[in-house]
A and B are shown apart, each in its own frame.
Chain A
């Protein structure tokens, strides 16, 4: 039986590989200088969805919310095997915290169900490396009214409207049976994401959102208008669908800053410093004195 999977992905700054280039003079990180990447565990989520399709048939729809340039991760998803990709982008969603984000995403998943057929499975990465909150998955599940399987590592069985999945927890594993539809948040030990396929890169080399047409027209002067380009891409299945908050039926006071209960009071750069570092001479006497002092202070 074929399954319709929806995969939620995010484009994130590469916080894990901060190089000298992204460091400012004062030792803090320049966020703007970090490359934007496909959130690593979202690739594991996509891979799990593609494996379900491989075994059982069906479709994989990939959804992201972000600025126009987040279309990059959608193209990447197409190259890896997604059937359909959608960009939810809207200035009014800027500044959304996890509650507002999950609301907007859930609205978009519901529109996917209306336009392209009900979903059986929703996959997301366990967490995104820029926030590490792991909250959006469960929050989307709640908004969709479906059960959630967090820390999913494997789908062991999928039949008759339910699945058996293994959860990887720090202290062991848990095996659960869950009715469909459900949402899984996938950990990085689940699989090795397949690389983009060269054949698909060729097939989708023109894939673009209407927001990118302006740039494309500069590169392809043979198209005189956006309409002409749009017609050409539409004919070839190279249009990436773009939805606004209104397109997915989101109430505007529930997205963006107004829909976000959490506010950032302040941000401090990490410059960890001890309250007085003392250099100890690495000699027998120096070390013995230190050990004695620690013993006196009940540290040892």
Chain B
């Protein structure tokens, strides 16, 4: 059981595009493989997607299981599950990872149930460590770390015995590696066979709305909360974001108040981000918001309340009114000695 020490990553692709979270997972799997002296395998399913296999190798896979079939052209639970279940049953990987995307969260539980493995949802960190229970010692287990209970707790989960150790991992929390075009790997074609049940569901129509904001990809994010006070107040937030080449975000309170639209929401119920710099303006710092941004490399918090919880996780604490602070920051960044008029 688990002697092969293979770390498998389900590589999610839609219309020939690999989901960023899958590339993030390949990098993480590489780290884990280093610790376990194991190897990384990518699962790549679809139709006409063989040209994506080298990319998964560049990002960290040692081996790619490639399944191409007309039944796999568009993601559907049952055909995808059938292919993955038969591969898992045959090869008994040690670890099996999915992005916590709608597809990953649809597919992973189906597979975990079929192979009777433990599955931890929406992990924000993965590590390797030991575990002891009732006198039994286990080495080299996957620590599956996730927020729980509305973000008020962080739980570390292990699956000591029933492998593979399965987890879905939140998008944007693992660092993507740099592709190494010299990396070599093996591609194994898999014959997909279906038992007939796969035809119970057909996709009639898909309407994809492209997101107008890319918070996950942003390296600088300027976010506003209730303290911004109005929809117009966000103009200054936008200006700072524009000057710094960043994106604009809002807390749930700001979204609920109608200051900014929902696709800008960062936090437990919104997007999780880890930019290089996160500037929180007029955000008190509820646990739910912090869960979505506390992985940022540097956090600047601007708030008139010196006791706002956001300051607990900020690297730079600025007690003041954003209407005064932001124009000063813009001026300083532009090297302008005479700050513009405060709004």
Contacts and interface: CB of A to CB of B under 8 A. Distances in A.
Interface string A271-300: 111111111101110011011101101011
B8 interface: no
A179 B311 contact: no
A173 interface: yes
Interface in B286-343: 287, 290-291, 294, 297-300, 311-321, 324-325, 328-329, 331-333, 339
Nearest to A148: B77
A148 B103 CA distance: 12
A179 B148 contact: no
Interface stretch (A66-74, A81-89, A261-269): A261-269
A49 to B, nearest CB: 20
A241 interface: no
B328 A171 contact: no
Contact of B201 (A28, A179, A278): A179
A158 B325 CA distance: 58
The residue among A98, A129, A280 with the most chain B CB atoms within 10 A of its own CB is: A280
Interface string B204-239: 111111110000000010000000000000000000
Given A262-B157, A262-B158, A263-B157, A277 B209 contact: no
Interface residues of A, number: 78
B118 A261 contact: yes
Given A142-B110, A274-B313, A261 B162 contact: yes
Contact of B209 (A171, A177, A262, A271): A171
Interface string A143-166: 101011111000000000000100
A99 B150 contact: no
Interface stretch (A114-122, A130-138, A199-207, A216-224): A130-138
A287 B332 contact: yes
A182 B200 contact: yes
Given A262-B119, A262-B120, A29 B201 contact: no
Given A131-B121, A272-B313, A15 B152 contact: yes
Given A150-B102, A164-B204, A172 B209 contact: yes
Contacts of B55: none
15 contacts: A31-B149, A98-B119, A150-B105, A172-B207, A176-B204, A178-B200, A178-B202, A182-B201, A269-B152, A275-B315, A277-B315, A282-B325, A287-B328, A291-B329, A299-B277
A235 to B, nearest CB: 41
The residue among B81, B108, B157 with the most chain A CB atoms within 10 A of its own CB is: B157
A102 B325 CA distance: 53
Contacts of A287: 318, 325, 328-329, 332
Contact of A282 (B147, B277, B287, B319): B319
Contact of A149 (B105, B150, B201): B201
Given A139-B112, A262-B158, A272-B313, 16 more contacts: A15-B152, A28-B152, A29-B152, A99-B117, A136-B109, A139-B109, A142-B81, A176-B201, A177-B201, A265-B131, A267-B155, A277-B317, A278-B316, A279-B317, A284-B339, A295-B333
Contact of A175 (B204, B210, B211, B299): B204
B113 A139 contact: yes
Interface string A171-198: 1111111110010000000000000000
A8 to B, nearest CB: 14
Contacts of A267: 148, 153-156
A47 interface: no
Contacts of B159: 261-263
Contacts of A283: 328
B203 interface: yes
B148 A131 contact: yes
Contacts of A99: 112-113, 116-119
A95 B292 CA distance: 28
B151 interface: yes
B332 A292 contact: yes
B114 interface: yes
A132 B317 CA distance: 32
A178 B313 contact: no
A280 B303 CA distance: 12
A142 B114 contact: yes
B140 interface: no
A176 B290 CA distance: 36
B330 to A, nearest CB: 9
Interface string A205-238: 0000000000000000000000000000000000
A280 B155 contact: no
B106 A150 contact: yes
Interface string B102-137: 100110111011101111111000000001010000
A138 B209 contact: no
B276 interface: yes
The residue among B156, B200, B211 with the most chain A CB atoms within 10 A of its own CB is: B200
Nearest to A284: B328
Interface in B53-112: 77-78, 81, 102, 105-106, 108-110, 112
B316 A280 contact: yes
Contact of B211 (A171, A279, A294): A171
Interface string B274-289: 0011000000000100
Contacts of B200: 147, 178-179, 182
Contacts of A13: 149
A134 B325 CA distance: 42
A171 B208 contact: yes
Nearest 6 CB-CB pairings of A with B: A261-B118, A282-B320, A15-B150, A261-B162, A133-B121, A262-B118
A28 B88 CA distance: 40
Nearest to B161: A261
A203 B156 CA distance: 46
B205 to A, nearest CB: 4
A9 interface: no
